[in-house]
Amino acid sequence: MAPKSRQPQRSTRYVLLLAVFVVFLVGVGARLVYLQLVAGPAYAAMAHDQRSREMDVPARRGSIYDREGEPLAVSMEARDVYAVPDAVVDKQAAATAVAGVLGGTAEEYLGKLNKDAPFVYLARKVDVERADALKQLDLVGIGFQEDARRVYPSNELACQILGFVGIDDVGLAGVEQYYDSVLAGTPGKVIAEKGTRGIPIPGGVSVQEDAVDGENIVLTIDKDIQYQAHVELQAAVEKWGAKGGSVVVMDPDTGAILAMASTPTFDPNKFATADAKAFRNRPIVDTYEPGSTIKSLTAAAVIEEKMFTPTSAFVLPPTLKVGGRTIHESHPRGQVTWSLTDIVTNSSNVGAVKLGIALGEDRLYDYFSRFGLTEKTGVDFPGEAMGWLPPPAQWSASSIGNIPFGQGVSVTPMQLARALASIANGGELVTPHFLQALPDSPDKTLVWPKKQAISAETAAEMRGVLSAVVTEGTGSGARVTGYSVAGKTGTAQKARTDGQAGYAQGKYIASFSGFVPAEDPAVLIVVMIDEPSNSIFGGTVAAPTFSRLSAYCMEHLKIPPTTTKTSSTDASHTADDAVTGEPQSDKD
């Protein structure tokens, strides 16, 4: 019997092998199609990320100038020094070399080079000269990037106004923070291909987006007046052994702030090592009970209501009982008949309360609101505080016996300056501001709103009343030779800060607020001295500082003299300004 043929079996095997091979080819093809068409973009992106690095190109921060074009804050060319740790062959040697040029310790840099990271900064904002010296060492894996370093040429001058920026040039305080979006600009980008050791590939793809530099800004600050304000304030704080103090110098017509100083100060070039308490721009962020300076607003309210005139006479008893409390004067006296002007000139607590009672709680609150005491001033500065004036519904029976002379109400020096400016300028409540111009955006119009607080007639009468404070009353220390001066003294006991009601024993704020020349004011100045020793009265402690600073402003701004009389800042006071606080309103 003949053997069976094996040909059909071989054919079946071939067919199976061919099928397997076809399936394999189809699978490979499908995989290739998937890799190329479906997953291709993702893998390409991964490959791109592995061989390229995106780096920001810092925008140059805009400069800050004073009203005369003097630089207050500028950005100087600098370099960032970075490393690609895996590309550094001898990390110890590199760390030692970097420390030798940039300063610091080799251990500090070695710690950074040993990090498990594709990129680390070794130093930021290095001087160009030192960066170039390091670059000449040609250290593999060490790179350099252009940057800028913020510099404040005048160091402590206007430090609380300007503020400072962080390591990434972001404004962290002051005008630098408030106008950060204007000053900062827009960073650019560079994307460059690099090899496995982090070194740029010659001829590799490089994409760059140019940075847009920030805009320059011009402030209303006058650098010379700012310096003088700083000097005079520091001298007063030292003379009277005070805890601190502040000064505001403002154009009462426009609200432009010419100077603003606070103590203690700091150097914004070294802000990281400064006491954070020194960062406070006290005229804007701190509140206090203003005391007798408020009497000018109470007097203006009754004149505006046509209830009384500056010559209206009042019979004033030695003390006055209101709501179970007895209101005293700063110094004992008998019964007197004084005019409204005399009440303000002699800083009478009893007289101010009688005016407040005649006006009534609702109208007194309304006028204090008109003078801006129930709202923020709108100044272009971060963190503005607002004083406290409760609505009449929250007043006690004795509130009308202390609010008219500035007790039981708090304000910021900026609020007080704004309120007083309405008397100086003819009745308008201005918006205090630091920004004068945006030179890189000439078409942009800056608008600082105003609103009417009192009539021009009332403002004129009050300028006369406040002039008498200086010529005849408690403010004689504020006189300026050759110029008429108007203003009001203030001496207020500080409220307790330990959670207990009442006032801190022996702690006062002495102040003087005024403007010059009285008839057509060019500057308004508020001086506040915190916790002076030896003397506590605003007419003694703060008024002379006002006088010297005013005299400087008149000369610097070339304001012609308005009087021919010779005055002395050391003139003896006809009366001490009234002290507001517990001693003037004791309970029975």
Of the candidates 470, 325, 499, the residue with the CA atom closest to the CA atom of residue 403: 325
Spatial distance between the Cα atoms of 87 and 91, rounded to a whole number of angstroms: 9
Query: Is residue 484 flagged as an active site residue?
Result: no
What are the angstrom distances between the C-alpha of 314 and each of 309, 489, 577?
11, 21, 19
404 SS3 class: helix
Contacts of 440 (CB under 8 A, 6+ apart): 62, 215, 216
User: Considering 154, 292, 348, 467, which one is annotated as catalytic?
Assistant: 292
Of the candidates 333, 316, 299, 328, the residue with the CA atom closest to the CA atom of residue 454: 299
Of the candidates 503, 487, 509, 478, the residue with the CA atom closest to the CA atom of residue 291: 509
Spatial distance between the Cα atoms of 59 and 78, rounded to a whole number of angstroms: 12
* Secondary structure letter of residue 378 according to DSSP: -
Question: Which amino acid is located at 391 in the chain?
Answer: P
Q: Which two tokens stand for residue 178?
A: 């408030």
Q: Which two tokens stand for residue 519?
A: 């008839």
Determine contact, residues 364/301, Cβ cutoff 8 Å.
yes
Spatial distance between the Cα atoms of 141 and 429, rounded to a whole number of angstroms: 62
Determine contact, residues 279/172, Cβ cutoff 8 Å.
no
433 SS3 class: strand
Spatial distance between the Cα atoms of 279 and 287, rounded to a whole number of angstroms: 16
Neighbours of 140 (CB within 10 A): 14
Return phi, psi of residue 294, to 5°: -70, -20
Q: Give the DSSP letter string of 7-65.
A: HHHHHHHHHHHHHHHHHHHHHHHHHHHIIIIISHHHHHHHHHHHHEEEEEEPPPPPPEE
Spatial distance between the Cα atoms of 338 and 344, rounded to a whole number of angstroms: 10
Spatial distance between the Cα atoms of 475 and 513, rounded to a whole number of angstroms: 10
Which single residue is written with the structure tokens 């403007």? 515
Report the Cα–Cα distance between both ends of the chain, in Å, rounded.
145
Spatial distance between the Cα atoms of 388 and 82, rounded to a whole number of angstroms: 52
Spatial distance between the Cα atoms of 162 and 226, rounded to a whole number of angstroms: 12
Spatial distance between the Cα atoms of 106 and 91, rounded to a whole number of angstroms: 10
Residues forming beta bridges with residue 260, ordered by sequence position: 248
Q: Which two tokens stand for residue 123?
A: 């130093």
Active site residues: 292
